[in-house]
């Protein structure tokens, strides 16, 4: 027997289902099985299918509803099929895919940062702060929020990106974002292209990244000296960001990454020991707690208790580093902001006549002024890539110009009076690196510092790995980047060489 024919109803094996054309769907009507609700007031079986009469009644009712909507002048909803054509669309689809969501939280976070860097032009801190204020104002007023300026590659189609275009983008990113970020941005684009090859939405061709070689920078080997460490911590404490100083102490005495320090909890039940789990490896690191770290963490617990009372918190998080603004763990962006602010205060000093706000404004103004004018200051000393001796001299001259500029600012603002400082400047936190570029000591350099100090203290390689949580497979890397640069060991080697040549017969 053929199924009965009712408008807006179709039958499947004797079971009715509503069915609408494009116009009816655009008016908001949706297809659905024609069944009774679970709680049927007439006592029919739960979820029972409509019988023939009920399906006919539904058809008549739905036809009337659609006709009434048409007479009332109801406009169909616009059906806009999203066109996926640009790199921005590709990155958006990839970041929402099941494959992306299956990645670790740390990998997703890292990729999202790089996606933002690929899509949007870099902003100065002042421009970023201004945009945040404009976004807040737009939300309050209920108007459209301002949008960041897109990079040219964001609107390009994936098919237009070949090896030459990828190379050009890498060179551009390297100049405006730095070497490490440029490599990360290329890796992100490559991952998105690879995903797009297997996506039914994209069906991309070959990944242009395949077969390309990109130069990698030398490992960043930077030591934060004890005076610099003390000045940086003192600056954080002076601007009421003691939590940043707490994180620095954890870095110096545990050698852990920034990400791990921000989520670090003490999982040890043994007095005098410190146990925590690394987010990257999942490994539990259990080490003896140094007295200096114990003192700092005890002070941090006292501060957190006071913070709980001040903010009327029901409880405080178990993390060791707690944001003074809200009594919560830091997000990485906020933490980096305050690390940068504390460094600027340490570099340019804290005048006794200033309050915290004025000190921050002064330090950030001088930092921006230096970055804005550094190319002009360095221009008389071009880098000769063909002659290593001349290149080294140019880097030394740039370092001298930088030191002189920093000294001039300090002398001008203090009128040459040492008593004018609440915290004296520590200009060595800002320096000229081996590439001849303006550089600053980073929070991550404290991890390197911990390793180098352990090495100088005479710890062997496995001991260093046990303390910092480095994998044993990275032993050769640690030797290359850290131990080979131990000046004290080199001096001792020269002493042994001197004794040996005497034994071999050299006199004097």
Question: Looking at residue 118, what is its pLDDT?
Answer: 95
Contact between 155 and 178 under an 8 Å Cβ cutoff? The reply is: no
Per-residue pLDDT of the chain (508 residues; tens, 9 = 90+): 567 788 888 887 778 888 887 778 777 788 888 888 765 455 545 567 888 888 889 999 998 888 888 887 776 655 555 577 899 999 999 999 999 999 888 789 889 999 999 999 988 777 877 888 888 888 888 777 788 889 999 999 999 999 999 999 999 999 888 888 999 999 999 999 999 999 988 999 999 999 999 988 776 778 899 999 999 999 999 999 999 999 999 999 888 889 888 988 877 777 777 777 766 666 667 777 788 988 998 999 999 999 999 989 888 888 889 999 999 999 888 999 999 999 999 999 999 999 999 999 999 999 999 998 998 999 999 988 888 899 999 999 999 999 999 999 999 999 989 899 999 999 999 999 888 889 999 998 998 888 888 877 877 777 877 777 766 665 556 556 555 555 566 667 767 777 777 787 776 5
Q: Helix crossing, 242-254 with 226-238: angle to 10°?
A: 150
HSE, side-chain direction, 13 A CA sphere, residue 472: 4
Ordered by where they begin, the domains of the chain are 9-71 (no CATH), 87-198 (no CATH), 226-445 (1.10.443), 446-503 (no CATH)
In a 10 Å sphere around its CB, with 0-12 CB exposed, 13-18 middle and 19+ buried, how is residue 380 labelled?
exposed
Beta bridge partners, 438, equal: 432
What is d(CA 411, CA 261) in angstroms, rounded to the nearest whole number?
37
What distance in Å separates the CA atoms of residue 251 and residue 230, rounded to the nearest whole number? 13
Which of helix, strand or coil describes residue 49? Answer: strand
For residue 234, the 8-state DSSP code is: H
pLDDT tens sequence across 22-34:
778 777 788 888 8
Both structure tokens of 257: 């990454």
Q: Which residues contact 39 (CB under 8 A, 6 or more apart)?
A: 46
Which residues in 462-495 are b (16+ Cβ under 10 Å) and which e?
eebbebbbbeeeeeeebeebbbeeeeeeeeeeee
Both tokens assigned to 457: 């203290």
- From CA 101, how far away is CA 365, in angstroms rounded? 41
State the burial class of residue 96 (Cβ atoms within 10 Å of its Cβ: 0-12, 13-18, 19+): exposed
H, E, C per residue of 423-444: ECCCHHHEEECCCCCEEECCCC
DSSP 149-195: PBPGGGGS-GGG--HHHHHHHHHHHHHHH-HHHHHHHHHHHHHHHHH
> Which residues contact residue 420 at a Cβ distance below 8 angstroms, ignoring those fewer than 6 apart?
351, 352, 353, 413, 414
User: What pLDDT is stored for residue 333 in this prediction?
Assistant: 85
Label the pairing between strands 284-288 and 273-277. antiparallel
In the block, residue with structure tokens 């895919």: 97
pLDDT at 508: 58
């Amino acid at each position: 027997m053929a199924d009965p024919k009712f408008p807006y109803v179709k039958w499947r094996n004797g079971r009715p289902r509503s069915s609408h054309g494009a116009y009816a769907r655009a008016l908001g009507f949706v297809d659905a099985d024609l069944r009774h609700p679970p709680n049927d007031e007439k006592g029919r079986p739960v979820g029972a299918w409509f019988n023939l009469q009920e399906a006919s009644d539904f058809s008549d009712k739905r036809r009337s509803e659609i006709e009434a909507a048409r007479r009332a002048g109801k406009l169909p909803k616009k059906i806009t099929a999203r066109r996926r054509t640009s790199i921005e669309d590709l990155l958006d689809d990839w970041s929402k895919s099941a494959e992306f969501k299956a990645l670790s939280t740390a990998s997703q976070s890292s990729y999202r940062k790089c996606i933002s860097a690929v899509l949007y032009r870099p902003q100065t801190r002042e421009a970023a702060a201004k945009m945040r204020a404009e976004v807040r104002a737009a939300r309050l007023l209920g108007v459209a929020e301002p949008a960041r300026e897109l990079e040219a590659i964001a609107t390009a189609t994936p098919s237009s990106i070949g090896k030459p275009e990828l190379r050009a983008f890498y060179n551009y990113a390297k100049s405006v974002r730095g070497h490490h970020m440029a490599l990360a941005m290329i890796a992100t684009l490559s991952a998105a292209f690879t995903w797009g090859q297997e996506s039914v939405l994209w069906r991309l061709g070959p990944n242009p990244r395949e077969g390309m070689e990109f130069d990698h920078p030398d490992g960043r080997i930077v030591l934060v000296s004890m005076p610099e460490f003390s000045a940086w911590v003192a600056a954080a404490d002076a601007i009421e960001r003691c939590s940043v100083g707490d994180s620095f102490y954890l870095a110096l005495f545990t050698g852990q990454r920034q990400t791990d320090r921000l989520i670090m909890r003490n999982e040890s039940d043994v007095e005098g020991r410190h146990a925590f789990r690394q987010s990257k490896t999942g490994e539990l690191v259990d080490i003896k707690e140094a007295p200096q770290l114990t003192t700092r963490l005890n002070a941090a617990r006292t501060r957190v208790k006071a913070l709980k009372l001040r903010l009327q918190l029901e409880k405080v998080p178990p993390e060791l580093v707690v944001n003074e603004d809200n009594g919560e763990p830091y997000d990485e962006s906020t933490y980096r902001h305050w690390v940068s602010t504390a460094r600027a205060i340490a570099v340019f000093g804290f005048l006794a006549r200033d309050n915290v706000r004025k000190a921050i404004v002064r330090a950030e103004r001088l930092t921006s002024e230096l970055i804005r004018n550094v190319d002009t200051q360095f221009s008389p000393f071009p880098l000769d890539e063909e002659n290593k001796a001349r290149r080294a001299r140019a880097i030394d001259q740039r370092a001298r110009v930088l030191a002189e500029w920093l000294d001039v600012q300090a002398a001008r603002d203090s009128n040459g009076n040492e008593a004018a400082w609440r915290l004296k400047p520590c200009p060595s936190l800002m320096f000229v690196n081996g590439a001849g570029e303006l550089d600053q000591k980073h929070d991550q350099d404290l991890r390197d510092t911990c390793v180098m100090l352990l090495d100088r203290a005479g710890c062997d390689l496995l001991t260093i790995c046990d303390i910092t949580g480095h994998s044993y497979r990275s032993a050769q890397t640690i030797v290359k980047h850290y131990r080979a640069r131990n000046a004290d060991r080199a001096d001792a080697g020269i002493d042994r060489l001197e004794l040996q040549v005497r034994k071999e017969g050299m006199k004097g």
